[in-house]
Amino acid sequence: MLTRIDHVGIACHDLEATAEFYRRVYGLEVAHEEVNEEQGVREAMLRVGGTADGHWACVQLLQPLTDDSPVAKFLQRNGEGVHHVAFGTADVAATAETVGQRGVRVLDPEPRHGTAGSRITFLHPKDCGGVLTELVEAADDSAAKSEKTL
């Protein structure tokens, strides 16, 4: 069902400065960067290491685009730090359905657009022991499924 820790999402005020911290201190490089208007964030993925399911475990840095985005509100309440934890799964829709049947509120009725073409959904932190939890299906897993369907 879950096959990896896909990433840890970290809220920050300044994406460049925080990325530079991870580069300078640990040698981690930005592998991917994008703006997600829907979520109101600019984000960067820093690969920490490969995972046995053929993907990567990343640090994801999140900087809010506007003062009223969820990540901006998180920063106002908590300051910089861990915002969410994302687990990788081969089929995000099926996993979300199963998890929903087990009593966890799934925040996105349909999986939505995540980083680098992934499909994601968030789970309600109050149902997950205080942890804002994300489920991620990598873009190449989605592509492999589409090919099978053709």
Question: Would you tell me which residues interact with its own copies (CB under 8 A)?
Answer: 1-5, 8, 10, 12, 18, 21, 24-28, 48-53, 57, 78-82, 85, 87-88, 99, 102-104, 125, 128-131
Query: Quick one: 31 or 82, whose CB is closer to its own copies?
Result: 82
Burial of 38 (0-12, 13-18, 19+ CB in 10 A): exposed
* Ramachandran assignment for 90, one of left (phi > 0), alpha (psi -120 to 50 degrees), beta (any other): alpha
Told to judge if 60 belongs to the known catalytic residues of this protein, a careful annotator would answer yes
Told to judge if 43 belongs to the known catalytic residues of this protein, a careful annotator would answer yes
Active-site choice (39, 55, 134, 137): 134
Active-site choice (43, 55, 83, 137): 43
**Distance in Å, CB of 84 to its own copies, minimum:** 8
Which residues on adjacent β-strands are paired with residue 36?
Answer: 41
**Distance in Å, CB of 135 to its own copies, minimum:** 10
Told to judge if 134 belongs to the known catalytic residues of this protein, a careful annotator would answer yes
Phi, psi angles (nearest 5°) of residue 59:
-95, 125
Query: Quick one: 37 or 94, whose CB is closer to its own copies?
Result: 94
Q: In sequence order, what are the residues at sequence separation of 6 or more whose Cβ sits closer than 8 angstroms to the Cβ of residue 97?
A: none
Q: How many CA atoms lie within 13 A of 96 on its CB side?
A: 23
Query: Quick one: 103 or 109, whose CB is closer to its own copies?
Result: 103
* Ramachandran assignment for 21, one of left (phi > 0), alpha (psi -120 to 50 degrees), beta (any other): alpha
Told to judge if 147 belongs to the known catalytic residues of this protein, a careful annotator would answer no
Active site residues: 7, 43, 60, 84, 134
